[in-house]
Structure formats: structure tokens, C-alpha cells
Structure 1
Amino acid sequence: MSKGKATDVRILNVEIGFEAVSFRAPLKFGGRVVDHTYLINARVDVESRSGNQASGYGSMPVGNVWAWPSPNVEPADGEAAMKAYAEKFAELFASYPEFAHPLEIHFNVGAEFHHQAKKISDRLNLAEPLPQLAQLVSTSPIDAALHDAYGRVHKKNIFHLLSAEYCNEDLSYFLDEQFAGEYLDKYTLREPVAKLPLYHLVGALDPLTDADVTDRPDDDLPMTLGEWIAADGLTHLKIKLSGDNLDWDVDRVLAVEKIATDAQAKRGCAEWFYSCDFNEKCDSAEYVIEFLNRVKSSAAQAYDRIQYIEQPTSRDLEAASAAKMHDVAKLKPVVIDEALVDYEALLKCRELGYSGVALKACKGQTESLFAAAAAQKFDMFLCVQDLTCPGSSFLHSCSLAAHIPGIAAVEGNARQYCPGPNKKWRKRYPAVFDIKDGNIVTDRLNEHGLGFHLPEWVSSIPAGVKDDGADQVATTERIVKKTVRDES
């Protein structure tokens, strides 16, 4: 690494804790049903070379069912391992001795990711180490808090701090020589776009009509698809599909099309879109092509509304049976999701025919920015997806989406499944959490750090935010893990 900038920071302290969140309605994906999660909440304190200090905050759901869907590790064990991994990296980030830019700190600490994944799994007697995706999710709150603190110590939004003026290394240091002389300011926006369409999730268990409702929660939120469209003016619907039952998948899209057509007609909306998410369950590209052809023959207008296909086959890119997506991509953009864990994976997916990239804040601010740069370099379709992120984790996701050129839409489904942590944040950012005309208003996400203000109640409870009696949210599960630099 080069000599360093006057703007570099070092980490003084890392705090981490876990916050239980229950769901108002179950969410099914990848063949499993989720009805609760934990937030990993992190606080990072930094110091600049000039001696100024600031704190940053990051939060992200554990999301182990999505990040680690292993037949060899029970979900509860995977969840525990991801928490332990986050705790370990609180220690490792706090012990990083150098002044640097957050991109460089994360990149260098990340050299320990795979080693610690094996050590944690061995300590917990698990059958396999944490996979790379679980590693990224577990450390993403710390990465976010570090970027947030860096912005706050310089009293700027982090998207103003990605140029050669602040970064010690260009992108070729992190990616390859195609990016020589380039910095992330080339691939990001200084100011957020004014608004973005929201992708609303239509889960496999979600009721489309009143006839499908078996248990309506005791709240004032919509429940059926028609109710959600009417309430939020939705224009983008993400449809969860089975991937191993072609008849059900086609029928589900046609049923959504019928409900959406009726609901949109009532509000005078003529244009809306779908994305289709098979959660890797398809066994081949041919399945996807047959699915698209059958949708097109049954309802051409529904086919036309499909904006993209989300990674339909296995995330295992090295398998001999890894499906090639070239023919699917001729019909619709096919985006990388679960397989996108680093730049090398993105290159491999391009070889396999993927034509788009799904960014996710849960993979870390650093890795998301690298993926966004590569996707733009290679002229790929771009969207930002969700890990059912509530509260500040959703604000982080929206800020990321609003500062990347060409984002088609941003997914946000915590408001459907676990809205409790949103309540306090909604008071300051109502236009982000209260959807109007199908859009999230993002023009205010230009404040210091990650882009949004940290209220006093975050600063006072840095690693376990409570929600004042909201029944969807329990208090912090355990004591805060605190690591302070030993100056001796």
C-alpha cells in the first residue's frame, strides 16, 4: 500500500450486539420458512491522523437461512456461528493497527475471512466452515459502521470520499488492471437520486386475495397483494417461485398478473413490472426458458412486464453442472445474487452468461461498491435487493441504491414482514418508509456518513436498538461485545 493520506483513519473501538426481531407474517424462500431473525448491530469509533474522532453505526439481519442454506448445518447452528463470526471480527477490525481508508482496512482485514470461518466452525463442531456469503453478511455491519464513521469524522457523505483525494489505491489494487487509474468516484454519484421504485416481495406463502388469508395479523397493514398495491401504489413486484414445479411457477405469475391488473386498473396505472426469483432451485437454464415461454404463450403482457430473472440455479459456480445462462439472457436480464461474493465470482458469472448484478448491502458496503463498479464497466443490468432489512439497515440499502448510477429499483420487504424496527426511523425519514406511488424518496440520504442522521437513541444504545414496546422487536439478546485498542 502507498504511504497514506492525511484523511486516513484508524479504528479505536468496536462494539457489537444482537437484537431479536420477530415477523408479523412468515417468509418462505429456498424451501424454508423464516419467522424471526436477529439484527447484528455494530458501532465503530475511529480517529483521523489529525486526532479528530467520530463514531459510525451499522446494522444487518443475520440472514443465515439465505446466506448458509446447508444440508449439513442446522439453521440454528448456522445462526450461532454467524454471530460468533461477527464477534470475532469485531476484535480483528479493532486490532487493525494502521491508518487507512475504509476500503483498504476492509480489504486487508478480509484476508482473514476464510481462515476464521474454519476456526469458528471447528470451535462449534460444525460439519463445514462458514461459506463466503455468510462471512460477508456477518461482517457487513462492521464494514458499514466503519464507512459511516469515516464520513462522520470528515463531516461528509461517504460518496464524496471515494476519489484519489481520499483513497490510497486505485481500483486495480482491489480488482484488476482493467481498472488502473480509476477510483470509485467514477462509478458513484455525489448526490443521491431523488427517488427509486420499490420492488415489493410477493412471497410464496403471501395471500393474493382474501380467500388466501388464513391468519390476518392484528395491525393496520395490508395483507393481500391487491391491498398492498392500493396502499403503496406499487409498480414493481418481485415474485418468489419454486424453481422445481413448473406448473406452479407459471400459474403463480398468471395469478399475480390477474390480481395486479385489476388493482392497477382501479388506480389508473398502465405500466408495472415483475422480477422472478427462483432462489437457485431451478436445475437448468432450460427450466427457465420453458417457464418464460409458457408465461408468454399464456399472457404476453405478463411476459413483457418481467424486468429480470434473479439467479435461478445453484450458487456453486465451480460445479461441473453449473448452468450457462446465455440463452436465458437473450430473453431477459439474468442477475447474479447468491453467487456474487467477490470480483472473481462476478467474472465467472459473466462467463456463464449472466447479464446483470444484484447489489446487496448485506454483502458489505465495500464489496457492493466494487461490484457496482465492475457491473458498470461491463455494461451489466443493475438492481439493489434486500435481506428483509428493517430500520437503519434499510436506510443503508436505500442510500447505496440512490448513489449508484443506473439502478433499476430497490427491494424493501421488512415493511411487510418485520416492520417493528422501522417505527423510530420513520419519524425522521417518512418518505423512505411510507411508500407513495410505488417510490422511495431518497433525496435526503445525503447526510454525513452512510447518508442518514443518527438520532440520540442510536448513540446511547449503539449495539442493541430497542423499539419502545413494539411487539415485533425484542430487546437486545445479550451484552455488548466491546473491543478497545490496547495502546500499551
Structure 2
Amino acid sequence: MMNVVDVSMPRRVTMLGVDFNGTVMDPMYVEHLFERICRNRPGVPDALCYIEEPFAPELLERETDVSAVAKWAPCVLDESAHDWRVMEKASTLGYSGVVVKTCKTQTEALLTLSWAKHHGLEVLTQDLTNPMLAQIAHAQLGAHASPGIGLETNSMQFYPDASADEARVHPGLYQRVGGCLDLKTISGPGFGYRIHEIDRQLPEPATTSW
């Protein structure tokens, strides 16, 4: 983590996020980690935007308070936030935000967003490496759900050629310029896919059912 800070800060990175993927069992570990980083790298507190899913789900089940960690930055749930009851419980334990993802279905993303906004929680938009048409719905969700902090999008990093057909119609959605996407080509009914302009050849289905 210190290496990431040392690489990013000289390059004028102004927003940092930390994702522990639910691996920590003791909140004191995270608290001491940030105390050490911020003591040695004074610019980090101003740049730190969120701390994502630091703790294993068992800590939520045990009702472990995480307020001491959330003082550094919003402490947000990701995989653990599978319904509003979990978020309601977590918000009483010091969690201050939630991640929305279209891979959990568009409906769940919108319901989670609505609940979180109504209760004053921070909202982040992240993906599961969305390619092709999935990127379009994902980018639109991020534009409305978390316009200030942006969104995670990485399909162009891991498999850029997978979205080549869609990129001919929506070039700004499949390449990041200065860390930004361009959504201006989205238009028309539904999600604005402009599906009839995308020349994607799909294979024959492996099986069908009636």
C-alpha cells in the first residue's frame, strides 16, 4: 500500500481508494495501518476517498463496531451488502457507504442506490470487468449513482478487443482519456445501446429450450 502511495502521489493523483476484499479480522489492524501510512505520508488523508469491504463477513455477523476505521474515510460494503437489511445493520456499526454493481442485476443496483441515498450513505459504482453492452448500462449507473467520485471500469484494461464492435459506435465508453469516459454517444430507447448499429456476430446457441 505504501508503494501505491509513493507511485501515485508524485503524479498528482488526488483520489485514492483501498479495497481489502474482506480479509481483515481485527479492526485494530486497519486502524494501525492507516495511522502508520498517514504519519509517514502526510498527503494521504486528504486523498483517501473510501475504505472498501475491509472486514470478513463474520465481523458484521458479530456486530463488530468499525467507527474507528470509518474516521479515516467512508467505510463501504461490497459483497456483504446483498440486501437492505444488511446495510441497515451495518450503518449502526460505523459503515458509511455501499457499492452498487450492475452484475448484481440492474434492479438490485437501483434498489440499493435508493436505500443508501435515502439514509445518507456514500455510494460507489464498481464493475466486474464489464465488456460489450454491459459497459453501457454500467457507465450510466455510475454517472447517476456516484457522479462525484466516479466509477470503477476496467474491461478495456483486461480484454480490450472483446468490445471492438461496440466501441465503433461508442468509442468514448471503451477507452479512458485522462481517467474519464465519454457517454455522449448514448442515445435512443432503453439504455441507449443503439443496438442496431452494432455489428456483433454472435455464435449459434449451444442449446435451446421451449
TM-score by length of 2: 0.89
Match of 1:404 among 145, 150, 160: 145
Letter of the structure 2 residue corresponding to residue 301 of structure 1: G
Question: Once the two structures are superposed, what CA deviation does each residue of 1:131-168 show, in whole Å capped at 9, x if it has no partner?
Answer: xxxxxxxxxxxxxxxxxxxxxxxxxxxxxxxxxxxxxx
* 1:290 and 2:32 aligned: yes
Q: Is the 8 A contact 1:279 1:310 kept in 2?
A: yes
**Displacement after TM superposition at 1:271 (Å):** 4.8
Match of 1:275 in 2: 17
Question: Once the two structures are superposed, what CA deviation does each residue of 1:341-386 show, in whole Å capped at 9, x if it has no partner?
Answer: 1111211221222101111111111011011111111111111011
Question: Once the two structures are superposed, what CA deviation does each residue of 1:266-307 show, in whole Å capped at 9, x if it has no partner?
Answer: xxxx45211000110011221111111111011011332111
* 1:254 and 2:2 aligned: yes
Match of 1:305 in 2: 47
Letter of the structure 1 residue corresponding to residue 101 of structure 2: K
Structure 1 residues 29-40: aligned runs within 5 Å: none
**Displacement after TM superposition at 1:433 (Å):** 1.2
Q: Is the 8 A contact 1:324 1:352 kept in 2?
A: yes
Q: Is the 8 A contact 2:102 2:137 kept in 1?
A: yes
| SS of corresponding position for 1:358 | strand
Name the % identity: 25
Q: Is the 8 A contact 2:124 2:146 kept in 1?
A: no
Query: In 2, distance between residues paired with 1:308 and 1:373?
Result: 20
Question: Once the two structures are superposed, what CA deviation does each residue of 1:188-233 show, in whole Å capped at 9, x if it has no partner?
Answer: xxxxxxxxxxxxxxxxxxxxxxxxxxxxxxxxxxxxxxxxxxxxxx
Distance 1:407-1:341 versus aligned 2 partners, 3 A rule = farther
Letter of the structure 2 residue corresponding to residue 385 of structure 1: Q
Match of 1:479 in 2: 206
If each structure's helix is expressed as a fraction of its own residues, which one has the higher value?
2
Match of 1:176 in 2: none
**Displacement after TM superposition at 1:446 (Å):** 4.2
Question: Once the two structures are superposed, what CA deviation does each residue of 1:422-470 show, in whole Å capped at 9, x if it has no partner?
Answer: 2111111111112111111224334321232214545x63xx5xxxxxx
Letter of the structure 1 residue corresponding to residue 17 of structure 2: S
Match of 2:163 among 414, 422, 431: 422
**Displacement after TM superposition at 1:333 (Å):** 0.3
Match of 1:353 among 89, 94, 97: 94
Query: In 2, distance between residues paired with 1:382 and 1:340?
Result: 12
Structure 2, unpaired ranges of 5+: none
Match of 2:64 among 323, 326, 330: 323
Query: In 1, distance between residues paired with 2:148 and 2:115?
Result: 14
Q: Is the 8 A contact 1:401 1:410 kept in 2?
A: yes
**Displacement after TM superposition at 1:256 (Å):** 1.7
Letter of the structure 2 residue corresponding to residue 299 of structure 1: R
Query: In 2, distance between residues paired with 1:329 and 1:274?
Result: 15
Query: In 1, distance between residues paired with 2:148 and 2:109?
Result: 13
Distance 1:299-1:405 versus aligned 2 partners, 3 A rule = closer
Letter of the structure 2 residue corresponding to residue 417 of structure 1: F
Match of 2:188 in 1: 447
Query: In 1, distance between residues paired with 2:147 and 2:182?
Result: 16
Letter of the structure 1 residue corresponding to residue 157 of structure 2: Q
Output the aligned Cα RMSD.
2.2
Match of 1:165 in 2: none
Structure 1 residues 129-208: aligned runs within 5 Å: none
Letter of the structure 1 residue corresponding to residue 134 of structure 2: S
Q: Is the 8 A contact 2:125 2:145 kept in 1?
A: no
Q: Which has the higher contact order (CA 8 A, sep 6+)?
A: 1
Query: In 2, distance between residues paired with 1:298 and 1:316?
Result: 32
Match of 1:387 in 2: 128
Distance 1:413-1:351 versus aligned 2 partners, 3 A rule = same
Query: In 1, distance between residues paired with 2:32 and 2:14?
Result: 23
| SS of corresponding position for 1:308 | strand
Q: Is the 8 A contact 1:401 1:407 kept in 2?
A: no
